[in-house]
Amino acid sequence: MIDTMRLCGYIWLAFYTIWLLSAVGTKRTAERADWGQLLSYTIPVALGYYCMFSSAVGFAWLQTRILPRNPELAVAAIVITLAGMAFAVWARVYLGRNWSSVPTIKEQHQLIRSGPYRLVRHPIYTGFLLAMAGTFLANGKIRGALSLVLLWIGWQVKTRFEEQFMVRAFGAQYEEYRRTTGALLPRIVG
């Protein structure tokens, strides 16, 4: 049987290589988050990835398997990981030159509300969380579940900083968007 976790690791490595290379050509930054803000979300996100991908995570109980190993779960892991990555890429393409890895306001920044942004305000993080949930299915250990929690915390913190930038840049237009569209999960209306 294929080592699904190793395969997920290779998929993530390829994904991030392409992700970083595609950062070339974004608009110039007019304003960006400070170092304190950057660290407040980067630390839980980095710890989350470390927990998922490092077998050297300290405590033995974190290595306890909580999901079974079987072919169906392995296939689901790969499909969900790839689906999450595809959703994040779709969002990144829609942002175009407005994208940044750090909460920023770009010169001539535009508020994007179409494509995946009509479903959620932060679809890149939604895609990352979905991809990491798929990878957790491959990992199957307590440390994988902890990874998801840490990433959720990190993305929640980062979205708050981004929201502050967006409200300053777009005012009432962004407030209306925030009322009608969920942050990381679609808002169910009705």
With respect to residue 122, please indicate whether it lies within any of the assigned structural domains: yes
Q: If you ran DSSP here, which 8-state letter would residue 100 be given? A: -
CATH number where 170 lies: 1.20.120.1630
With respect to residue 133, please indicate whether it lies within any of the assigned structural domains: yes
Residue 190: predicted pLDDT: 45
Find, among 8, 7, 15, the residue nearest to 132 by Cα: 8
How does pLDDT run along the chain (190 residues), one tens digit per residue? 578 999 999 999 999 998 888 878 788 888 888 888 889 999 999 999 999 998 877 788 999 999 999 999 999 999 999 999 999 999 999 988 888 888 888 888 899 999 999 999 999 999 999 999 999 999 999 999 999 999 999 999 999 999 999 999 999 999 999 999 999 999 875 4
Residue 112: predicted pLDDT: 94
Residue 25: predicted pLDDT: 79
How many domains does one find in the chain?
1
Which residue carries 């304190």 as its tokens? 36
Residue 189: predicted pLDDT: 59
With respect to residue 89, please indicate whether it lies within any of the assigned structural domains: yes
With respect to residue 30, please indicate whether it lies within any of the assigned structural domains: no
With respect to residue 117, please indicate whether it lies within any of the assigned structural domains: yes
The CA-atom distances, in angstroms, between 27 and each of 24, 42, 46, 104, 123 are: 9, 22, 26, 11, 20
* Cβ atoms of residues 138 and 74 within 8 Å: yes
Q: Which residue range forms the structural domain that includes residue 153?
A: 4-15+41-57+65-103+112-180
Find, among 186, 115, 188, 185, the residue nearest to 156 by Cα: 185
* Cβ atoms of residues 124 and 115 within 8 Å: no
